Amino acid sequence: MSSAQPLLSVNAVSKSFGGLQVISDVSFDVESGSRIALIGPNGAGKTTIFNLISGVYTPDSGSISFDGADITAVPSRKRIGLGLARSFQNIRLMPHLSVVENIMLGQQSHASGPSDMALPLFRRSRSRREAEDLLASMGLGTFPGDVVATLPYGIRKKIEVVRALAAKPKLLMLDEPAAGLNPAETASLRDFLITISETGTTILIVEHDMGLVRSLCEEAVVLNFGSKIYEGSTKYVQDDPLVLEAYLGSRHVKDHVVAGGADA
């Protein structure tokens, strides 16, 4: 899906830590309504890019624009209020709280003051009803009163995504949402994310499961050693020589191509 102005633009961003160059002059756009994967071998810089976009880190050079505004220096919490939400590889739900209480925590990014933040404390509050409605719309309406710690891992992963959705984001960033899931749970998660996308939410995902990437995302950005080596269709990403070399090593690229390819 194209538009006159991308929802997110990462422009020539670089980042170093203690003299080590982790991200080098990376640029890419995310169009509104799209589903894009950010992939690459371990240590390629994917999580660092996520941290730069979400405001955990500030780039040494370059800029980041979101919804037409430069957010390079905007604090992380304010980025959530602008419509940028993120989930993490390791589940960060409050395990001792109920499902609906966890969803209500996600609503607080839109609180305008202390009185709004206190609303979730009241069981019959508008915030609670909205949280229950959101769970129901995402097919999780049977779990609102359950304590998170008692639920299967695959369900908890979905709940974390719904908690991010409670912030009403324009862009949902997911860091390895399929980590730890079995094939059936991964397929269910894919369908779940497609449903979210169809509501108009843009998705940017870091993921190692290439089956999920190809079935969920139209485009991919590939990093290796902090540099972008590919940007384009997920249909052709595994045919790109630089991508093959990054995943397999130059000695194995020819054999891979002759053999007809394999999952990266």
**Looking at residue 6, what is its pLDDT?**
96
CA distances from 201 to 12, 129, 131, 145 (A): 25, 21, 17, 26
Q: What phi-psi label fits residue 83: left (phi over 0), alpha (psi between -120 and 50 degrees) or beta?
A: left
Name the CATH architecture for the domain at 1-83+169-264. Answer: 3-Layer(aba) Sandwich (3.40)
**Looking at residue 45, what is its pLDDT?**
95
Please give the Cα distance from 30 to 38 (Å, whole number).
11
pTM across the whole model:
0.83
Binning pLDDT at 50, 70 and 90, where does residue 1 land?
very low
**Looking at residue 88, what is its pLDDT?**
67
Instruction: Give the pair of three-digit tokens for residue 243.
Output: 């991508």
Domain residue ranges of the chain, discontinuous segments joined by + = 1-83+169-264, 91-168
Q: Which range (8-17, 162-171, 222-231) has the least confidence?
A: 162-171
Per-residue pLDDT reduced to its tens digit, 76-132: 888 988 999 987 656 678 888 899 988 888 776 555 444 554 554 554 577 888 888
Residue 233 bridge partners (DSSP):
219
Binning pLDDT at 50, 70 and 90, where does residue 250 land?
low
Per-residue pLDDT reduced to its tens digit, 39-92: 999 889 999 999 999 999 999 999 999 999 999 999 988 898 899 998 765 667
